[in-house]
Amino acid sequence: MFEGKKILITGGTGSLGRALTKRLLKYDVDTIRVFSRNESKQVEMEDEIRDERLRFFIGDIRDEARLARALEDVNIVFHAAALKHVPVVEYNPFEAVKTNVMGTQNLIDACISQKVEIAVGVGTDKAVSPLNAYGATKLLMEKLFVTASNYLNKNKYKTKFIALRYGNVLGSSGSVVPRFINQIKAGEKMTITNPSMTRCSITMDEALNFILKSTNTGHGSDIFVPKLKAYSIGELKDALVELLGDPGQEDIPIRPGEKIHEVLINSDEMRTAWETDSDYVIVDANLTDEKVKSMYPGFAKVTTDQQYSSDKVEMISKEELKKAILDSGLV
């Protein structure tokens, strides 16, 4: 589906954006436009990935006119730009509204005006029953994506707006793994909020596979969620100690907006959720079961209303965690 396509990635210089760019370049794409506001990271990325199909656009998703220019003749958009660090967003909530909410609406408007074929919004588990400002802005991002078709004339060109939801990528920038690793290497104690906290585990390769598969499967106004295993912070600490040594541990209070366990689908959303062995899709509540079956072959209607959360799924073993950390290249 990517052959000969022009693709734009917002937040393209971030961990996910870089990895997604490298993966997409393996296909016979026409061009990939990397859209971000970080000039230094764009220069680094251009030096690292030397490919004549790459284009770099300095810009901010808060600027709709710049987005519209960057989206000219683009077929597929992956929207990964966001303010995402929970403590930063708690301290600067309206800045996150400007980027994560208003910036997303700017992107939607630009996609419609430029007749983009598919727009994929990369979300987070923190959007479910949000406890923090970051999660609240990402919930609104999701809502904007799944309702964007309301702006479209059904008889004219229609952009597919697809939303994705998963947890932190293991080892990605800003996640707990590189922070713990840096603390160990510096001889500092690991700052552990609560060893019993759980988080769903997804590697970068798994995230990329999920993104590309969902892009191919989605029809618009849908939310895709992968089925994942989870790990506890205590188990993660033990895995890192075995790999790097034990600098000790310092307990810190739960930060504002932190949950003990993350929820990927709440019990109310399960009413409109369908599943395969590997994924869920949350569909438009107005669709009949027969229509959903025809649109999403291989998906079966979920028969439980139990929420899907990091404390209710299979836990990844310490050995699996160690392998994932090693595969991430951080150690």
pLDDT at residue 209, as a whole number: 97
Q: From CA 257, how far away is CA 134, in angstroms rounded? A: 9
Give per-residue pLDDT as tens, 197-251. 999 989 999 999 999 999 999 999 999 999 999 999 999 999 999 999 988 888 8
Segment 312-321 shows an average pLDDT of 92
Q: From CA 106, how far away is CA 65, in angstroms rounded? A: 9
Whether 164 has a pLDDT exceeding 90, the answer reads yes
Chain center to CA of 54: 22
pLDDT class for 172, splitting at 50, 70, 90? confident
Average pLDDT value over all residues in the chain: 93
Distance set, CA 176 to CA 41, 221, 327 (Å): 22, 32, 16
Q: From CA 231, how far away is CA 34, in angstroms rounded? A: 33
Could you tell me the two tokens for 154? 């059904």
Give per-residue pLDDT as tens, 67-86. 999 999 999 999 999 999 88
Q: From CA 60, how far away is CA 83, in angstroms rounded? A: 12
**Which domains does the chain carry?**
1-165 (3.40.50.720), 167-202+226-280+287-331 (3.40.50.720)
Higher pLDDT, 155 or 192: 192
CA angle 28, 29, 33 (to 5 degrees): 155
pLDDT class for 155, splitting at 50, 70, 90? low
Contact 328, 204 (CB under 8 A): yes
Contact 195, 155 (CB under 8 A): no
Q: From CA 225, how far away is CA 164, in angstroms rounded? A: 6
Q: DSSP of 151-192, one letter per residue?
A: GS-TTS---EEEEE---PBTT-TTSHHHHHHHHHHTTPPEEE
Catalytic residues: 126
Could you tell me the two tokens for 253? 């209070």
